[in-house]
């Protein structure tokens, strides 16, 4: 079942339960626990206990239950949507799924681009026929490049794609005038984000699936005083996810 599913960052972790993920690492947690303010916060959340936060990855490399034909909400996004630094029950896809009485298919992973979201949606939406698709679009400064498989073999690389970011030190960026031009004009980034959100919406319309899309940056999903923070002290905490879940549910009502 789904044997031709597309590769993605989580594929290599399929079937595993992880204690840590970038940027939520044991070393960073130990460092943060040395600060009394962070220690009190983590203890108040119960995250100082071993196993308080784990990442259970299904056989297709996603942080959700095994895929089935049950009615579901399908989530698209990046590190915030996959819930780095948070227990799975606190993240917005799970909150929305619970409120609607639907299974959750969380296709997000840290470092994704909007291109990645559409690439996965194109495959999974027609096969899973979700009741709802929600895309919290990653930062538009990222884009995905599918790589030449002959060159991959020459360079002994297995991953057939790369997400390019402005600060990337990849030779694909540093040695390419074309990509430097792409980043040099921010309109390229904005248009790429808009295109992918519209493409996901059109895909859902084609398959008669309800769809909500927005830009994750607009929701202030990174660590701030008023929304708390995740265990990595980079991403927004449980309150940020609760607010986004409430926003999504309100959009559905409207």
What structural domains does the chain harbor? 9-253 (3.40.50)
Please state the pTM of the whole predicted model. Answer: 0.94
Which pLDDT value is given to residue 90? 97
Computed over every residue of the chain, the mean pLDDT equals: 92
Place of tokens 């291109």: 115
Q: What are phi and psi of 122, to 5 degrees?
A: -60, -35
Q: Which of 33-37, 111-115, 214-218 has the lowest mean pLDDT?
A: 214-218
Judged by DSSP in three states, 31 sits in helix
Please state the rounded mean pLDDT for residues 212-235: 83
List, as own/partner pairs, every contact residues 202-205 make where C-beta atoms lie below 8 angstroms and the sequence separation is at least 24, other chains included.
203/118, 203/121, 203/122, 203/125, 204/125, 204/133
The residue behind tokens 């996901």 is 200
Residues ≥6 apart with Cβ < 8 Å to 169:
none
Checking if the pLDDT of 173 tops 80, the result is no
Q: Which tens digits make up the pLDDT trace of 205-219?
A: 999 999 999 988 877
pLDDT per residue over 116-135, tens digit each? 999 999 999 999 999 999 99
* Whole-angstrom distance, CA of residue 44 vs CA of residue 38: 10
The proportion of the chain whose per-residue pLDDT surpasses 90, expressed as a percent, equals 78
pLDDT of residue 125: 98
Across 191-202, average pLDDT: 97
Higher pLDDT, 169 or 218: 218
């Amino acid at each position: 079942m789904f044997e031709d599913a597309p590769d993605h960052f989580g594929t290599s972790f399929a079937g595993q339960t992880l204690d840590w993920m970038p940027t939520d690492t044991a070393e960073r947690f130990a460092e943060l626990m040395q600060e009394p303010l962070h220690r009190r916060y983590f203890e108040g959340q119960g995250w100082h206990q071993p196993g308080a936060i784990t990442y259970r990855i299904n056989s297709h490399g996603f942080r959700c239950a095994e895929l089935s034909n049950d009615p579901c909400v399908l989530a698209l996004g990046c590190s915030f949507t996959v819930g780095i630094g948070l227990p799975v029950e606190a993240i917005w896809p799970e909150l929305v799924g619970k409120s609607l009485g639907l299974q959750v298919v969380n296709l997000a992973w840290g470092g994704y681009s909007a291109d990645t979201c559409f690439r996965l949606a194109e495959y999974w939406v027609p096969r899973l026929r979700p009741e709802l698709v929600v895309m919290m679009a990653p930062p538009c400064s990222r884009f995905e490049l599918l790589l030449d498989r002959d060159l991959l073999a020459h360079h002994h690389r297995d991953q057939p794609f790369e997400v390019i970011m402005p600060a990337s030190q990849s030779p694909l960026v540093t040695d390419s005038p074309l990509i430097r031009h792409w980043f040099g004009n921010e309109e390229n980034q904005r248009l790429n984000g808009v295109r992918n959100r519209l493409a996901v919406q059109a895909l859902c319309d084609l398959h008669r699936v309800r769809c909500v899309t927005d830009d994750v940056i607009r929701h202030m999903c990174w660590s701030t005083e008023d929304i708390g923070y995740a265990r990595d002290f980079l991403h927004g905490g449980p309150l940020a996810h609760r607010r986004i879940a409430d926003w999504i549910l309100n959009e559905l009502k409207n």
